[in-house]
Amino acid sequence: MTAQYPWGHTKRYNDFSTYFRNRFASRVQKVSVDAGFTCPNRDGSKGVGGCTYCNNKTFKPGYTNLKKSVSQQVEEGIAFFSKKYESMRFLAYFQAYTNTYAPVQDLIGLYEEALQHPKIEGLVISTRPDAVTNEIFDYLEELSRKVYVMIEFGLESHLDKSLETINRCHTFADSVWALEETARRGINNCAHLILGLPGETRADWLEQARVISKLPVKNLKLHQLQIHKKTVLEKQFRDNPEGFHLFTVEEYTELVVDYLELLNPAIIVERFVSEAPSEMVVAPKWGLKNFEFVAKVEKRLAQRDTWQGRLYAV
Among 90, 113, 89, smallest CA distance to 36 is for 113
Q: Reply yes or no on whether the pLDDT at 1 is more than 50.
A: no
Closest CA to 264 of 196, 202, 218, 203: 218
Domain limits for position 84 = 16-303
Residues 6+ apart with CB under 8 A from 80: 61, 63
- Does residue 309 form part of some domain? no
Inter-axis angle of helices 104-115 and 134-143, nearest 10: 20
Does residue 261 form part of some domain?
A: yes
The reply to whether 200 falls in a domain is yes
Please tell me the predicted confidence (pLDDT) of residue 60. Answer: 53
Residue 66 has pLDDT above 90, yes or no: no
Q: Which residue has the higher pLDDT, 61 or 95?
A: 95
Q: In degrees rounded to 5, what are phi and psi of residue 43?
A: -90, 0
Strand segments, DSSP code E, in the chain are: 28-33, 89-94, 120-127, 148-156, 188-195, 219-224, 227-228, 268-271, 281-283
In the predicted model, what is the mean pLDDT of residues 253-276? Answer: 96
Q: Collapse the DSSP code of 223 into the 3-class scheme (helix H, G, I; strand E, B; otherwise coil) and give the result.
A: strand
Q: Which amino acid is at 97?
A: Y
Q: Residue 45's Cα: distance from chain center in Å?
A: 24
Q: What is the pLDDT of residues 217-243, one digit of tens each?
A: 999 999 999 999 999 999 999 999 999
Would you call 23 helix, strand, or coil by DSSP? helix
CATH number at residue 286: 3.20.20.70
Query: What is the average pLDDT value for the chain, to the nearest integer?
Result: 94
Residue 282, in any domain of the structure: yes
Domain membership flag for residue 5? no
Q: What is the pLDDT of residues 176-208, one digit of tens each?
A: 999 999 999 999 999 999 999 999 999 999 999
In a domain, 308, yes or no: no
* Mean pLDDT within 32-58: 91
266 in a domain, yes or no?
yes
Give residue 33's pLDDT. Answer: 94
Q: What angle do CA 90, 153, 170 make, to 5 degrees?
A: 155
Total domains in the chain come to 1
In a domain, 277, yes or no: yes
Using alpha carbons, select from 238, 235, 249 the residue that is nearest to residue 285: 249
Q: Is the dihedral of CA 25, 30, 35, 39 positive or negative?
A: positive
What is the pTM for the complete model shown? 0.94
Question: Measured between alpha carbons, how far is 192 from 225 in angstroms, rounded to an integer?
Answer: 12
